[in-house]
Structure 1
C-alpha cells in the first residue's frame, strides 16, 4: 500500500513537473513578446502571490506544489491573456490602422474643428499712384493682386471696370510689369528690393488679346513646332496657347544685348513652352543649333522704361526677361529689343500665355471671385430712386410712360440738347448764374478724369503706353502751340495720334471743333460724349479714358 501511494505520488509529481515546465515555457514566450510593457511584472507578481498566499496544510513542500500547481497556474494565465487582449492596441503599435484618414486633422471632422494657428499672416505693402502719393495697406499673406486692386478702388472711390492693376516697378533697373490677378502680392514683395515699389494704375491691354487676338499675334510670327513653315489656324489661335498639349511657337528676329557690353546682336529666336531659344546658325531650328536663353517657369517679362539711350538700344521697343531670384544683378537680365511695337507686344503676350496658360483665361472670365474679401465693394449698387426713373412724354394733355427703349433714348438726347439751349439763352439774357457761359465752358472739362492739363507731348505718349496701347484709349490736354486750343491724344492700332481742338466763335459764343468747324460743341464734355458714340473724322471711337487716380 505504501508502495502504491508512493507510486501515485510519483505519478502526480511527474505530471506536476511537466505542467510547470509548460507554464514556464509560456511565461518565457510572454516575456519576449511583451518586453516593452509592464505586463510581465504583473504576471510574475500574480504567479508569485499564488505560491505565497496559498494556505499551508502541513504537507511536505513537494506535495504542496503538487496540490496547488494545476488550478492556480491555468487560471492565472487565462486571466492574464484576457488582460493582454484588452491592452493590445496600446501596447502593440505595429497593428496597421485601416482608416488612417480618420486620424488626420484634415480628414477627421473632430480634429479639423480644433483651433489651429492660422497660416495666413498679415503683411504691409505700400502702393503709389501716378502723382507720387502713397498709401500703406495691411493685407493677408494670401491676398491676390486683384483683391488689392478692389480694395484700393473702394478706398479711392473710383469706378471698378476690371482694368486696374498693380505694377511692379524697379527704378534702378528701369523695369516694370503688371502683376497677374492671381499672384500673391506679399510673395511678390518679398522678392523685391527696398527701392522697388508697387504702382496703382489702369491697364486696358491686360486681357485685350482675348478680345482681338489677331491684332496681337501676326500670322508670320506664330507657327507649329512640329511643322516648319506651318502657321496656326487663326480660329484656333488662343486655344493652342491655352491647351497644354499643343505646341505653339513664336518665332522671329530679336536684338540681344551681349553680357557686360553695350553692343547688341540680331538673332533668330523661338519661344516655346520649354523656354526662349536662339539659333546659333541663322534661322535653323535643329536641336543642335538651338541654345536656351531663358526659362519661362522661374522668370518674368518686364517692359524697359529707361529709353534706348541708356542701353544704346537699336530701337525703342525694349523688353527684358528677369529671373525671379535676381534682384539687382544686371548680368542675369536678358535685355531684348524688337523691331516694332507689334512684335514686342506679340513676344510679351506669348510669354504670359505660355507661362500661365489657362489661369489668364480664368482671370479674364471671372474678375470678381466669390471668396474675395472685398468683393461686395466692387459691384456698384444703384439707388432705389435711380431704378425707379422712367422716360415720360408730356407732349399731350396727359403724360405717358415711354416703353420703347429707342424712343426713350432719343427723348433723353433731345432733352439734353434742349437743356443746353435753354441754359445758353438764359445766360445770354442776363441770368443770375455767377458764371458766364464762355467761362463755364472753358473750365468745366477740368473736372473730368480724361483731362490732364498742361502736360507735354512726350508725357501723353508715356501715359498712353503705360495704360495699354489699345484702340480707343484717349486723353485731352492743353495745346503747347496754341494757348486757347486743346489736343486729343488717341491710340489706334498701337499707334498714338494727336488731333487739335480749335476754338471758334459763333454769334458771340465760344465753341470747340475737331473738324475745322464742321461739327461744333459748346464745351469739351459735349465733344467727348459725341465722339464716344460717333467716330466722325477720328480713326475709331473714344472708348477708354486715360485716367490717373490719387490715392
Structure 2
C-alpha cells in the first residue's frame, strides 16, 4: 500500500527507544506506530471555559414552559412594517436624507425627511401629500424669525437645507407651511405692482411705449423696471428714522445724499442686490419704532440674522412696499422667477391629467353616472354637451339654495334643522381675531384681489366683519344681523340683500360681487399640520 503525502511532514515514532527495550530491531518494528504530523510551530495552550450549571434558571425555564403564552393585544404597535406612526418616525433606508421640521399656522409641526438638494417646491409638494391638503396650488414655505419679526417666502427653486445652514443655532428661526397667492401676482398685474410713479426715468428706453407695455416687456425677458421713491431708513445704532430717496438699478441699490437728485456726485452706493435677502417686518412699530406699518428690510443672504446687519426701510403705503420687495426679487433672480412662474402655471394642468387618469380607473357604477335633463315632455334625455352639463349642474345648485332659503324662512321651522353656527366649521372663518391680526393673515397669504376672511366684530356685538383684499389694500365690511318676518338674517347693504347664514353670504358673493369691489375668490385659511 502506497500513500502520497503533500507538504513537509515528519515521522514520529512512539516507543522507539531501542536501548530500553529488549529484542532489538524486531521489537522496534513490532511495537512502534507511525504518525504523520505537519511542521507547524507549537501553539500555546488554550484554556477553554467549562459550562456552568445554574439550577435556578432551569427551574424558571421549566416553569415558563408550563405557562400558556399571552397573546399581544396590540400587534400593530410592535410591527414597524404595519405601523404608519412608527414608519414616519423612523429614518429612511438611505442615509442621505435629512430631517427638517415645518410648522403650521396653528403652532403644530411636522417632521419630514428630505434629500440634500430638495427645493422649496418639492418640500411643499411632500407636505401637501403627507398632510392630505385639499389642493396642491399656491403653497409656500415661509422663513420666520419671531424675535426679530422677519418673514420671507422662500423661492420655489431655493434649496431648503442651504437656507437652514445660514441660521443661528441659538435662534428661534423656523419654517412655516402656508398659502401664498401673490407669489407671482406681479406677472399677472404688473401695472398694479409697478405704478408709473415709481418707475425710474432711466428705465424708459423705448419712446412711445406705455408704462404697461414697458413693464410687460421687461418681465417677459426676466428683467425688472428700475424704481425709485422716498423711503424711511432706520439710522444705525439709533432709534430715529430718516427720509431718504432710494434708487434700485441693475448695478445695485443707491440713495441720494441731496433730496431726489440723480447726479452721480449725489448718489451713494448702498448694497448689491444679488447678495441680499428681503424680508417683510411684522409689528415694526413696536419692535423698531417704525413710522408706518409698511416696513421691510434686507440682510446678507449667507450670514446669520443679526440686528446690526439689518438694513431696515419703511414705505408710506402697502403698494410702495410691495413694489420694492417685488423689484428686489426680480433683480436678484431675474429669469429664474419667470421659469418658476411658468412651472406654477403648468402644475394645474399636470393635476388635471392625473385627475383624468384617476377618473378612468373609477368603478363601473360611478362611470355609468350621466347628466340628465327631465324638463321635456317626452321624458329624460342624456346631456352630451359638457358645457350644457356644467350649466345644468350650476342651475341645480342654485335651485337647491333657493329651496333651502325658502325652507329656512318658514315660521314653524325647527331651529335645529339649520344651526346658526354653521360658519364656525368653514375654513374662512377666523373667530375673534383682531383687525390687525386679520390684516396680517391676508398679507402673509398674499395681497391678491379676492382674498377674504370673516371674523367676529370686536366693536359690535352679534355682528361679523368681512375682511377683503382689493388692489393691495385690505378693506373691512360689517355684516349686521337683522330680522324680517320673525326670521333672523344677515346683511351688508342695510337689508337690501338678506342671507340666512354666513355660508350663503359667502357663496353668493363668490358669484356676484354685490356691494363689494370684487368677488370673493381666495379664502384665507389657517393651515394645520
TM superposition score category, shorter chain reference: 0.7 to 0.9
Cα shift at 1:267: 1.4
Task: Please give the alpha-carbon distance, in whole angstroms, between the structure 1 residues aligned to 2:339 and 2:370.
Answer: 37
SS in 1 for 2:489: strand
SS in 2 for 1:300: strand
Higher percent of residues as helix: 1
Quote the residue 1:500 is aligned against: 478
Quote the residue 2:429 is aligned against: 451
Quote the residue 1:132 is aligned against: 107
CA RMSD between the two structures:
3.1
Cα shift at 1:159: 2.9
Cα shift at 1:200: 0.9
Deviates more, 1:270-279 or 1:473-482: 473-482
Between Structure 1 and Structure 2, how many residues are aligned? 425
Contact 1:224 1:247 in 2 (8 A): no
Task: Please give the alpha-carbon distance, in whole angstroms, between the structure 1 residues aligned to 2:401 and 2:368.
Answer: 25
Match among 215, 222, 232 for residue 255 of structure 1: 232
Cα shift at 1:380: 5.1
Alpha-carbon spacing, 1:507–1:369, altered in 2? closer, same or farther (3 Å)? closer
Match among 382, 388, 399 for residue 401 of structure 1: 382
Task: Please give the alpha-carbon distance, in whole angstroms, between the structure 1 residues aligned to 2:224 and 2:448.
Answer: 28
Quote the residue 2:489 is aligned against: 511
Quote the residue 1:29 is aligned against: none
Deviates more, 1:493-502 or 1:219-228: 219-228
Cα shift at 1:397: 4.0
Extract unaligned runs of 5+ from structure 1. 1-118
Task: Please give the alpha-carbon distance, in whole angstroms, between the structure 2 residues aligned to 1:247 and 1:344.
Answer: 16
Cα shift at 1:421: 5.5
Task: Please give the alpha-carbon distance, in whole angstroms, between the structure 2 residues aligned to 1:545 and 1:449.
Answer: 7
Quote the residue 1:102 is aligned against: none
Task: Please give the alpha-carbon distance, in whole angstroms, between the structure 2 residues aligned to 1:465 and 1:145.
Answer: 20
SS in 2 for 1:276: strand
Contact 1:166 1:178 in 2 (8 A): yes
Map residues 515-530 of structure 1 onto 2, 5 A cutoff. Answer: 515-530=493-508
Cα shift at 1:532: 0.8
Alpha-carbon spacing, 1:388–1:152, altered in 2? closer, same or farther (3 Å)? farther
Alpha-carbon spacing, 1:514–1:388, altered in 2? closer, same or farther (3 Å)? farther
Alpha-carbon spacing, 1:207–1:189, altered in 2? closer, same or farther (3 Å)? same
- TM-score (ref. length: structure 2): 0.73
SS in 1 for 2:217: helix
Quote the residue 2:458 is aligned against: 480
Quote the residue 1:330 is aligned against: 307
Please tell me whether residue 415 in structure 1 is matched to residue 393 in structure 2: no
Task: Please give the alpha-carbon distance, in whole angstroms, between the structure 1 residues aligned to 2:388 and 2:486.
Answer: 34
Please tell me whether residue 278 in structure 1 is matched to residue 239 in structure 2: no
SS in 2 for 1:352: helix
Task: Please give the alpha-carbon distance, in whole angstroms, between the structure 1 residues aligned to 2:478 and 2:452.
Answer: 13
Point out the structure with max Rg over C-alpha: 1
Match among 433, 441, 447 for residue 469 of structure 1: 447
Alpha-carbon spacing, 1:368–1:474, altered in 2? closer, same or farther (3 Å)? closer
Map residues 64-75 of structure 1 onto 2, 5 A cutoff. Answer: none
Match among 350, 372, 395 for residue 392 of structure 1: 372
Quote the residue 1:292 is aligned against: 269
C-alpha distance after superposition, 1:194-226 (max 9, x if no partner): 410001111111111111100000112113537
Alpha-carbon spacing, 1:387–1:340, altered in 2? closer, same or farther (3 Å)? farther
Cα shift at 1:469: 1.5
C-alpha distance after superposition, 1:229-287 (max 9, x if no partner): 9897421314325647x784211111111111112221111101221111223323233
Task: Please give the alpha-carbon distance, in whole angstroms, between the structure 1 residues aligned to 2:400 and 2:351.
Answer: 37
Cα shift at 1:450: 0.8
SS in 1 for 2:490: strand
Match among 513, 519, 544 for residue 522 of structure 2: 544
Quote the residue 1:534 is aligned against: 512
C-alpha distance after superposition, 1:376-413 (max 9, x if no partner): 89965664477765432223342012345665455434
Cα shift at 1:161: 4.8
Quote the residue 1:179 is aligned against: 154
Task: Please give the alpha-carbon distance, in whole angstroms, between the structure 1 residues aligned to 2:337 and 2:288.
Answer: 32
Quote the residue 1:28 is aligned against: none
Deviates more, 1:143-152 or 1:217-226: 217-226
SS in 2 for 1:252: strand
Extract unaligned runs of 5+ from structure 2. 1-93
Contact 2:224 2:327 in 1 (8 A): no
